[in-house]
Amino acid sequence: MAEIKIPELAESITEGTIAQWVKKVGDRVEKGEFIMELETDKVNAEIISEEAGVLTQILAEEGDTVNVGQVVAIVEAGEGAAPAPAQEAPKAEAAPAQEAPKAAAPAPVVEESGERVIASPAARKLAREKGISLSAINPVDIHGRVRVQDVAAHGTAPAAAPAAAPVAFTGGPVVFAPASETDRVTIEKMSRRRQTIAKRLLEVKQSTAMLTTFNEIDMTNIMALRKRKQDGFVKENDIKLGFMSFFTKAVVAALKKYPYVNAQIQGDEIHLNNFYDIGIAVSTEEGLVVPIVRDANAKNFAEIEKDIADLASKARDKKLGLNDMAGGSFTITNGGVFGSLMSTPIMNGTQAGILGMHSIVNRPVAVNGEIEIRPMMYVALSYDHRIIDGKDSVGFLKTVKEMIENPEDLLLNS
């Protein structure tokens, strides 16, 4: 017999939430086979079986919070013949149906109405206890699978109140009571990762003297250079030349010139980083994650583009590892891909600065005393004023602007 325990993933991770079981009781599992997905506040981890055999017990359901070292399943030697379904007691008010062995994977259930509903065993059990028809529950899952959280939310939702009689206005303050109708409010439980994102953003706002400075960049030259070099770049490197590699290179050059933007506060000390691990914010369904392009100063444009593409793909597929996001000395976020014209980005963790890119918009600008239409981008630097003075923050952003507007200079700094 082998116990499946929640492994130690990182020093800062002590618990997680079971996202899904990919095996059910009675299934054959091989040594090293993926049997359960664990969601932590940083990454989704695939939990494997250390032994081959049959999954005979599942000790924690999907949605349960489990701690590092906790036993969540039992694997015993065997060939994996699926257990026979449990017999149900005859229908009678005094004799509830006998439960089948606990299984974590949702299974289809045919309701009395004839409707086919997919629900987890825990959800079916709770629905029976509450006397709720599974077909009456609106699951959060986009595939329509009913889980125990859906049943609990349905069971605790208040019944619709009868229509209130008209009340004459007396001249006092108007108070709006929360809507009691269940179809007017949809309640979703925050994912563990969303809770962590919210907590850390609030901590940054409360623990730093954050300030934001702005500038604008004329993108004419870099767009022309990118257009000229694109075909040859793709042919040689099998990846497109994007703007992010230019901005990463420009940021590295600016960080070298203004090292306090690449620093951190540790107690009463300022730690000046002599490395350039640049975080690139990536949007996922559960919020922003910030994987790291390591040693960006030592990489060429193609290497940076490939790193960014690989990390973005892993982020969307929930395959990022802890090493992909640990550390980082500075962050770049691009709200322009969503149409943002201007924003004040919040710094990432203990870093002292973050650069916000925005949409490229054709605007009239003065060029050598003449009005011209140019592709312009607003950029923002949010920084910790405890470390970085206004002179350095403005100088940093001006350096990024000059590098992007004169992209040939980036080649000299590579």
Give phi and psi for 189, each to the nearest 5: -75, 130
- Close Cβ partners of 272 (under 8 Å, ≥ 6 residues apart): 259, 260, 262, 263
* Residue 218 among the catalytic residues: no
Alpha-carbon gap, residue 316 to 124, rounded angstroms: 32
Closest CA to 307 of 282, 336, 339, 337: 282
Alpha-carbon gap, residue 295 to 278, rounded angstroms: 8
Alpha-carbon gap, residue 56 to 74, rounded angstroms: 6
CA 406 centroid distance within chain? 35
At position 69, the amino acid (one-letter code) is: G
* Residue 143 among the catalytic residues: no
Count CA atoms within 13 Å of residue 169 on its CB side: 4
Read off the tokens for 236.
Answer: 């040689």
Q: Which of 141, 295, 317, 389 is catalytic?
A: 389
Three-state secondary structure call for residue 53: strand
- Close Cβ partners of 191 (under 8 Å, ≥ 6 residues apart): 17, 39, 286
Read off the tokens for 157.
Answer: 């939702």
Q: Which of 307, 385, 392, 409 is catalytic?
A: 385
Q: Tell me which residue has tokens 């006998």.
A: 98
Active site positions, annotated: 385, 389
